[in-house]
Structure 1
Amino acid sequence: MDSPKTAPSPLIDTPWSRMRQTLQRIERGRDGWALRWQAIFAGIDLAILAFFLVGPYLRNGPSYLIIDYAIAGWIGIELFARALSAQSWKRFLLRSMTWIDLVILVTLLFPDVLFNFAFLRAMRIWAIGNSPLVHEGLRRAGWRAYQDVVRACLNFAVFLFLVTGFVYTAFFYRQEPGEGFVDALYFTVATITTTGFGDITLPGTLGKLTSVVTMIIGISLFVRLAQAVFRPYKVYFPCPQCGLQRHDADAVHCKACGVLLNIPNDG
């Protein structure tokens, strides 16, 4: 005889479990409450990037360290919250943003010894582009057709800011604040577009490698952005027969195998 199956133990309702469920809802939820919190956190990420830009202007003032350590405390709280909401420690440690935030945290805790790598926080903008905030926000606004364009723009903008931030931190950080960042941005745009005026170049082997990586990845993202802007809008709906994933918004049959489709209409 088969042994009777053991009934699964009921979930224990504790303050920690409730907090974990709330954090998971904020991170992955698609309802209005969760989207509002996601928008607030996105605004905080933009404020951290703004601090990176104005940091050199505040470097010699007492407010710099106050804001610097406040941001470090916020990132530490975020890391704790994401660790609590993760399904396992392994998944939490395998996330790229976990290690990026750890690097940012270390540079913020020791600003006099290490360069400010807060520009890496731009990766959060990339994560937002793949989050429910963008998908649901565009759908509710009736702009679902522009979803691929918005994501391509965000990816390109994040890469542009990351490269500009790295070039600024590694090569122009000791210059005048406004002039240094503008030079870094000018170099990055000229390199991505392969214009190559040559009036601003990066010295040494590190500078050459930075230029090579910027050209290779940057031109790929630029082409991807152009494709997203100019190609006809397609909806994501995997065909149950052949697996073709993108179809015309008003498609009735799959153009690859001819099977009848039932694409939902948001309208």
Structure 2
Amino acid sequence: MTPKNDQPVQLSGWRLKWYTIIFEADTTAGRRFDLLLIWLILISVAVVMIDSVHGLDGAYRPVFLDFEWLFTLVFTAEYLARLVCNPAPMRYALSFFGLIDLISVLPTYLALFFPEVYALVDVRVLRLLRIFRVLKLAEYVQEYQTLGLALAASRRKVMVFLSAVLMVVVVMGTVMYVVEGPENGFTSIPTAIYWAITTMTTVGFGDITPKTDLGRFISSIMMLLGWGTLAVPTGIVTAEMTQRRKPLEPTTRTCHVCLTEGHRADALYCRHCGHRLPEYLHESEAD
């Protein structure tokens, strides 16, 4: 039984085996499990997309429905297995990935309680929730974690950069409103700011264009300025990722006593409770 406050306990037996396969990706079985889930997620999302194509949804509706139930049952079994083998099931259920797992299977079951559910516009939105299955991919790719840490570490620099860009587009939009005026499509300052944003990001929808020579000169400067500013956030995040990339990166190794994750490949003892870690299966040994 799980103690009060859903605190994790030491795993053993089949629960330990399941936990190692499902939650750890540094073993042969864990990698195979992750790869299988990745393919199932991609195929299920592709089925949802194809089902939305006009003409195919009617002719092949029974096939799509069978596939949908197959994927739903598989992901339901996976979700229940994660709850069963996890020593802190409520903690997992309320976590980001736990909620994503639930959302990805819930619409199919909800459809059972709504007659002619696919004919109701407001309930059809539930089908779109199945696309959340693609978010489960982040759980199986370590690079997502590295990117997330880099984004979190560089958020202040990026926010400062975005603030500077915001000030530029506000000033330039106001200037363009004065230079071009409502007769040339710049009917208000917010509209001019919208033009400045699309110009500076080099999108340029073309729905609003300057007509005067001075306005075109300002547009040229903003377009050239946009090329230089677009690379700034990328450089900030890339620098953070480079600083965080070390020869020995954390793995998905988990202490089977306290369930602390992220131990290095050469670690012998848990960095949290001090218990000896199970032997690490190196990539070369797994292959």
Band the TM-score falls in, shorter-chain normalisation: 0.3 to 0.5
Whose relative contact order is higher, 1 or 2, with alpha carbons under 8 Å and at least 6 apart?
2
- Give the alignment's TM-score, normalised by structure 1: 0.46
When Rg is computed on C-alpha atoms for both structures, the one with the higher figure is 2
- Give the alignment's TM-score, normalised by structure 2: 0.43
